[in-house]
Structure 1
Amino acid sequence: MRLTTKGRFAVTAMIDIALHGRSGPVTLASISLRQRVSLSYLELLFGKLRRADLVESTRGPGGGYSLSRKAADISVADIVLSIEEHDTDARRRDAGEPGDTGRCQIDDLWATVNLRAVEFLKSISLQSLVDEQKAKGVQAATRHEPRRAAPGAPARKPFIVDAPNSVFALGRRQQGAS
């Protein structure tokens, strides 16, 4: 098992979905804003999480991602193992070829460390991480519905910006003014 930033971001994003997903699917754009992770990077991670059956996607307006099962039934090891790429050459190297007498005892040590790390991460549920965040005061965002004017209230005019939207438009505007 490799512990990389991919795994860390995946765990963070899963915590975000567990915290904010009670009112419906969570968009990757909202996770990107809250966690300051690029949207394209999240798309890569969520493709793997979806293939591992840890999240479900909902298309269309109001769509996004939600957990495919209860947060208490998802371990950190499930998340990390679904994200980390497993190099077959590395696995063969770790396992050692049959009859390979060059394998040293340090390989056994690292295999044991790896096994303990997986066991430890399996003991931590996503729900326990969510509970820790709530204990620290992190609150779930609520979906804001657009406010509607009270009956009989005057309709508000939309605010229209009359400013150039680029340097080129600004130049064209100033050329027209001269």
Structure 2
Amino acid sequence: MFKYLLFAVVLLYNNVTTANDYFKALELFNKKKIEESILYFKNVANDLNNEKRSDAMFNIALIYDNGFGVQTDKTRALYYYEAASKLSNKYALFNLGWMYFNGDNVNKDVIRAFNLYKLASDFGHPRAMYNLANMYFSGTGTVKDMKMSYKMFLKSKMNGISESEFYLKKISETLKPEELNLLNAEFDSLIEKKIALPSSNQQ
């Protein structure tokens, strides 16, 4: 399972209507003026009316989590990941899930990790879909469920996670033909987009 990282020039440029402080923070970050960029990110994070609040919180967390130009501070990173997660930031939800899954500066809690990945997945995070599928596949943090695992691997494949193909094929070999057909029928739109779906070899 992978932790979601965003570097320098790809730090969440989402909306051109964002307040100037957010873009100023990004500009300073890319110039490696990290301490100054954090101050601007904090201005945005503290502005209750700023639509970029959760992105600013996530970026602060990312800086401290990875030690981008500052001393690594997992406690601060956790604080800002949690704050951004409360605002439904899918990237923060994913990284927080990763921390709980791996026990990174928190007590390992695979059930909480599962729930966080589920939320991130619901908000459209592809890697969260993949990790969630793996947890259903292995029964980690939840009840083992091959059908749900198949669905989530299919969703992650649809969203560009190529590793899902291996598991889709593996699971398809364990399902009855009628079960596989029912699962695939839920994804007719994928077939229309010419994304190949596994078929059962069972007779």
Using structure 2 for the length normalisation, give the TM-score.
0.27
